[in-house]
Amino acid sequence: MVDREPVRVVGDDELVAADPTEGMLRRRAFEVPGLWAGQVVTAPGSVSGWHHHDSNTSMLYVVRGVLRLECEGVDGWLDAPAGSYVHVPAFTVHRESNPGQEPSLAVIARSGIGIPTVNVDAAPPPHR
C-alpha cells in the first residue's frame, strides 16, 4: 500500500505570510515539492519592488481589482482585471502595482523547484 498525503482544505485564516516583496502581501496556502499556492494582495496605488521567481513558472488568477504588471520584454505595462489569468515565465523580472481604488487580490500557483521569490534592486533593461 502506498502512503498518501491526505486531502487538505486551507481556510483564509490559515494562510501564512510568505515571500516578502515591498508593496505587496503574499500569503501561502501550501507548498509541496514543485508547487507553491497562495494569494497576493496589492493595496490601491501601491507598487511592488522588482523581483522574479527564479526557475519557477507562475500563474495568477485575478479575483478582485486590477493587477498591473511591468516586466522585461514588454513596453509599458499589462493590466489584468478581475477574471484574468496571468502567466509569468521563470526568471522574468517584473513588478506589480494596483492602479484601482480597491485592493487587488490574485490567487497564485507556482510550479518549479527554485527559490519562490528573488527581490532585485533594479528594473530590467528597456525592451528593444
Q: Which cell is 104 given?
A: 487587488
What per-residue confidence (pLDDT) applies to 102?
Answer: 95
Give the mean pLDDT of the chain. 92
What per-residue confidence (pLDDT) applies to 125?
Answer: 65
Q: Provide φ and ψ at 125, rounded to 5°.
A: -60, 155
pLDDT per position as a tens digit, 32-47: 999 999 999 999 999 9
Residue 42 CA to residue 48 CA, distance in Å, equals 8
8 Å CB contact between 56 and 108: no
Dump strand ranges (E) for 2-127. Answer: 16-21, 24-32, 35-42, 51-52, 57-64, 66-71, 78-81, 85-88, 94-97, 104-111, 118-119
pLDDT per position as a tens digit, 46-76: 999 999 999 999 999 999 999 999 998 888 9
pLDDT level of residue 123 (50, 70, 90 thresholds): confident
pTM, entire model: 0.88
Q: What is the mean pLDDT of residues 77-81?
A: 96
Task: Evaluate if residue 127 carries a pLDDT over 80.
Answer: no
The CATH class of 14-115 is mainly beta
What per-residue confidence (pLDDT) applies to 126?
Answer: 64
Domain positions in the chain are 14-115
Give 118: exposed, middle or buried? Use CB within 10 Å, 0-12, 13-18, 19+.
Answer: middle
What per-residue confidence (pLDDT) applies to 2?
Answer: 82
Neighbour count for residue 34 (Cβ, 10 Å): 10
Alpha helices in the chain, H assignment, sequence order: none
Q: Provide φ and ψ at 14, rounded to 5°.
A: -100, -5
